[in-house]
Amino acid sequence: MRNLWIICLALIAVWLAPFARAAESAAVKSGRAVAQLVTSYDTVEPGQDIYIALSMRLEPHWHTYWRNAGGPGEPAELHWDIPDTTSIGDIIWPLPQTVSTGPLINYAFEDRLLLPMPMHIAKDAQLGEELTIKAQATYLVCYQICLPEMANLSLTLRVGEAVKDERWSGNIERTIKRAPKPEGLEASAVLKNNFLTLDIGGGKLDFAALKNPYFFPYEQDLIDASAPQDILSAERGVRINLTPSFGLADGIENIPGVLAFEEKTENGWVRRGIEVSAIADAKVDIGKVKTGSGGRGIHTSVGLWAALLGAFIGGMILNLMPCVFPVLSLKVLGFARAAHDERKSIRTHGWLYVLGVMVSFLTLAGVILALKAGGASVGWGFQLQNPVLVGALALLFVIIAFNLFGFFDVGGHLQNTGSDLATSGGYKGAFFTGVLAVIVATPCTAPFMAGALGFAFAQSSLTTLLIFTALGAGFALPFLALSYAPGLLKRLPKPGPWMDIFKQFLAFPMLGAAVWLIWVLAVQTGADGVLRVLGAILTFGFSLWLWKRKGVFAKLLLAVSVLATGYFIYDLRNAQSAQMVAELPEAQAWSPQRVAQLRAEGNIVFVDFTAAWCVSCKVNDKLVLQRRATKDLFARTNTVMLIADWTRRDDAITAELTRHGRSGVPLYLVYPPGTGLVDPQILPQVLSTKIIEKALAKAGE
**Per-residue pLDDT reduced to its tens digit, 382-403:** 455 567 667 777 777 777 777 7
Q: pLDDT higher for 534 or 463?
A: 534
665, part of any domain: yes
The pTM of this model reads 0.46
List pLDDT tens digits, range 134-147. 999 999 888 867 78
Residues 380, 498, single domain; the answer is: yes
Residues 525, 641, single domain; the answer is: no
Q: Quick one: 209 exposed, middle or buried, by C-beta within 10 A (0-12, 13-18, 19+)?
A: exposed
**Per-residue pLDDT at 684 exceeds 90:** no
Cis peptide before 96 (omega within 30 of 0): no
Whether the Cβ atoms of residue 201 and residue 218 lie closer than 8 Å to each other = no
Whether the Cβ atoms of residue 523 and residue 578 lie closer than 8 Å to each other = no
Residues 338, 281, single domain; the answer is: no
Please state which of the ranges 17-21, 324-328, 644-648, 694-698 shows the lowest mean pLDDT.
17-21
Say what the pLDDT of residue 291 is. 55
* DSSP string computed for 169-194: HHHHHHHHHHS-EE-SEEEEEEEETT
Q: pLDDT higher for 481 or 171?
A: 171
Say what the pLDDT of residue 586 is. 39
Q: How many helices (H) and strands (E) does the chain have?
A: 18, 25
Q: pLDDT higher for 103 or 156?
A: 156
**Per-residue pLDDT at 415 exceeds 50:** no
Q: Which CATH number do you get for residue 72?
A: 2.60.40.10
Say what the pLDDT of residue 448 is. 46
Local structure of residue 575 (DSSP, 8 states): P
Residues 407, 352, single domain; the answer is: yes
Task: Using alpha carbons, select from 38, 36, 42 the residue that is nearest to residue 21.
Answer: 42
Burial 356-379 (b: 16+ CB within 10 A, else e): bbbebbeebbeebbeebeeeebbb
**Per-residue pLDDT at 583 exceeds 50:** no
Q: What CA–CA distance (Å, rounded) separates 449 from 644? A: 20
Q: What CA–CA distance (Å, rounded) separates 300 from 660? A: 9
Residues 129, 25, single domain; the answer is: yes
Residue-range definition of the domain harbouring residue 602: 586-699
Q: What CA–CA distance (Å, rounded) separates 329 from 209? A: 53
Handedness of CA 396, 399, 403, 405 (dihedral sign): positive
Residues 312, 446, single domain; the answer is: yes
Residues 102, 235, single domain; the answer is: no
Say what the pLDDT of residue 613 is. 58
- Mean per-residue pLDDT of the chain: 76
Residues 312, 284, single domain; the answer is: no
Q: What is the mean pLDDT of residues 348-376?
A: 71
Say what the pLDDT of residue 215 is. 95
Residues 195, 325, single domain; the answer is: no
**Per-residue pLDDT at 21 exceeds 50:** no
Which band of pLDDT confidence, cut at 50, 70 and 90, is reported for residue 506? low
List pLDDT tens digits, range 224-260. 888 888 888 888 899 999 988 878 877 888 999 999 9
Residues 538, 557, single domain; the answer is: yes
Q: At what angle are helices 325-338 and 498-505 packed, to 10 degrees?
A: 170
Total count of domains within the chain: 4
Say what the pLDDT of residue 78 is. 94
Say what the pLDDT of residue 288 is. 85
Residues 266, 128, single domain; the answer is: no
Residues 288, 323, single domain; the answer is: no
Q: Which CATH number do you get for residue 601?
A: 3.40.30.10
Whether the Cβ atoms of residue 661 and residue 685 lie closer than 8 Å to each other = no
Say what the pLDDT of residue 382 is. 46
